[in-house]
Amino acid sequence: MNALTRTDFSFKGQQSVYHGKVRDVYNINGDLLVMVATDRISAFDVVLPEGIPYKGQMLNQLAAKFLDATTDICPNWKLATPDAMVTVGLLCEGFPVEMIVRGYLCGSAWRAYKNGVREICGVALPEGMKENQRFPHPIITPTTKAEQGLHDEDISKAEILAQGLATPGEYALLEKYTLALFERGSQIAANRGLILVDTKYEFGRRGGEIFLMDEIHTPDSSRYFYADGYEERFRAGQPQRQLSKEFVREWLMENGFQGKTGQTVPEMTPEIVRSISDRYIELYEHITGEAFIRQESADIASRIEKNIESYLR
């Protein structure tokens, strides 16, 4: 099983390259971004040592589908997908916050709630809630967009405005877009027998307009439950069947790793790597209703480079 964990391309007009946790992003002439979805995987803000075959392809194709399915809600950065693992789009000035939206109490929010926290990012949480319970209305709990190697931090709307990270008008539009995108994603998920539990969106400015950027509604940025059996499991206090990256985090925690200083990532055996790959593909096929067609290449990087250069020409 082949995995792409790093790229080092040099394209005509290339001004810079940024190697993120998962994506390698190339700036072309200060106008376009070439975003390569690698097979790297991160958890607890740490890039894990093994790549996950087909993960980049699955993420890129799924994000492209959702970007295309939401253009009536807000403009987005995507122009083309010249390769199964690549999206080319407009360069925008990103807002330094990520818009996290939650429809259910789970994950890190539940862990905080269980420890007595009743307010997240300035949003008051009702008393008496249980794990995986649906909120009366989706809530927005933004985080800072941290530099590489640093942890994202919760931030409130008031703090975003006070720090000048967005104007009141811009933030109102970010909230509007976030809730509308979440509603659309929830509708699409429901049609496929899934519940979109929580997700994140990133936005940027270009020419005085706000654009949706990066990826949306993938298992790297979202959590899904299976709708079938949700109520029964919730009433019984049982874990939900879910399609998300949470199973990776849970596996790490079971093996003594939460990204804290001094902790070591457990061994990622071929069996573990294959199981993670299979789970990602399962989500793609479940949410799209389409078979995932693996793009097989002996040299993934060369294929990608050739396809990008052809597009840029």
| Domain 94-244 CATH superfamily | ATP-grasp fold, B domain (3.30.470.20)
pLDDT at 148 > cutoff 60: no
- Three-class DSSP labels, 51-69: CCCCHHHHHHHHHHHHHHC
Every domain of the chain and the residues it spans: 14-91+271-312, 94-244
226-278 pLDDT, tens digit each: 999 999 999 999 999 987 777 888 899 999 999 999 999 999 999 999 999 99
94-244: same fold as 14-91+271-312? no
Q: Kindly provide the b/e burial profile for residues 49-86, where b requires at least 16 CB atoms within 10 angstroms of the residue's own CB.
A: ebbbbbbbbbbbbbbbbbbebbeeebebbbeebbbbbb
Confidence of residue 151 (pLDDT cuts 50, 70, 90): low
Confidence of residue 26 (pLDDT cuts 50, 70, 90): very high
- Residue 147 pLDDT: 63
73-105 pLDDT, tens digit each: 999 999 999 999 999 999 999 999 999 999 999
Cα separation, 189 vs 195, in Å, equals 6
Cα separation, 15 vs 64, in Å, equals 25
Cα separation, 225 vs 182, in Å, equals 15
77, β-bridge pairs: none
Helix or strand (DSSP H, E) at 119: strand 119-120
> What's phi and psi for 87, nearest 5 deg?
-125, 135
Domain spanning 14-91+271-312: which CATH class is it, in words? alpha beta
Inter-residue long-range contacts of 164-169, CB under 8 Å, 24+ positions, other chains counted: 165/95, 165/96, 165/97, 166/95, 166/97
Of 248, 207, 243, 198, which Cα lies nearest the Cα of 225?
Answer: 243
Of 140, 124, 137, which Cα lies nearest the Cα of 173?
Answer: 140
